[in-house]
Structure 1
């Protein structure tokens, strides 16, 4: 089967956002260029790691001797996007992701592939949607300039941080209806 590639080069918008309340949020990577809009679901941990790794790549590029790229050390204020997600129609749930640097365009490149059937628990009821279909496989490829990448990483950290507070004793999230934990013995 051919792979259907949703490719965005110099997108108008690329953000992480959520739908739902803390503790029951679904995270989305949403990309728009013109009228083309793609939203893919991903895990909170994937969002966190994506922001961390984008900043790591950009920070490493700053330290390269003779670096011909103008990499911002902070987030350009004019690129900050605090708007909510646009109409979300989930294209797929993300499994494998890759992140890289394209020196020919001076852009961060994100690739996301759907969660593979073998990645899911075969006994879980949630797998019912994986009926045998002849649909082509899909992937999302987004190339974004360095300033946009810094703004993306900043927003992602803010979105992730807006979830449930963390218990100072055990480190697990505190639910709205309470929390009980056991303090680890020393």
Structure 2
């Protein structure tokens, strides 16, 4: 696969992943979001991203799966299944600046490429996941994103436990 971006370095290919997970670290309102990926050779990538980027990745995965006619049995997300053994220290850690996705419909796989900021040397990794695991990741992303602060019904902004300043009501909106 050739990469023609002006600033994205040739990505480190993690190959078919043994594991990938979307996680939030911290309390709602102060959470940081990350993807952890463990490649077939044991390479570990820890990639930080914004909540909106994570939500967008979940939506993009859903769009690709629907476009490819992927059907899945409705199974609830199982957060109790054992996770793969990750090394203590990641081989690659960076803040994601750019995400891209490719699809191999013949093999039922997606390739996700995550690239860091150009000023950090543009670190990047590509990873391959099958459609089934892509669907599981999409469900996990939805759960992680939804676990934050509830949105204000008027402006859509996050509501803290003590309420928030709502521009649409010209003042404070108390939690429901």
Normalising by structure 2, what TM-score?
0.76
2:134 aligned partner: 149
Query: How many residues matched?
Result: 159
Aligned counterpart for 1:41 among listed residues 21, 38, 48: 48
- How far is 1:108 from its partner? 1.0
Task: Name the residue aligned to 1:172.
Answer: 157
CA distance in 1 between counterparts of 2:141 and 2:73 reads: 14
Q: Which has the higher helix share?
A: 1
Gaps of 5+ in 2: 1-7, 171-176
**CA drift at 1:12:** 1.1
Q: Which residue of 2 aligns with 1:120?
A: none
Aligned ranges for residues 1-186 of structure 1 at < 5 Å?
Answer: 3=9, 5-33=11-39, 35-62=42-69, 71-74=70-73, 80-81=78-79, 89=90, 91-103=93-105, 105-117=107-119, 137-183=122-168
Using CA pairs under 8 Å that are at least 6 residues apart, name the structure with larger relative contact order, 1 or 2: 1
- Equivalent residue number for residue 173 of structure 2: none
1:181 shift after superposition: 1.2
Q: CA deviation at 1:73?
A: 3.5
Contact preservation (8 Å) 1:4, 1:137: no
Decide whether the 8 Å contact of 2:96 with 2:117 is kept in 1.
yes
**1:91–1:15 CA distance, 2 compared to 1 (3 A):** same
Q: CA RMSD in A?
A: 2.9
Q: For residue 176 of structure 1, give the secondary structure of its aligned residue in structure 2.
A: coil
Check whether the contact 2:19–2:83 (CA below 8 A) recurs between aligned residues.
no
Deviation at 1:36, TM superposition (A): 2.0
Superposition deviation, residue 81 in structure 1: 4.6
Gapped regions of structure 1 (runs ≥ 5)? 63-70, 118-129, 131-135
Q: Give, in whole Å, the separation in 2 of the partners of 1:165 and 1:138.
A: 34
Q: Which consecutive segments of 4 or more residues in structure 1 shift more than 6 A?
A: none
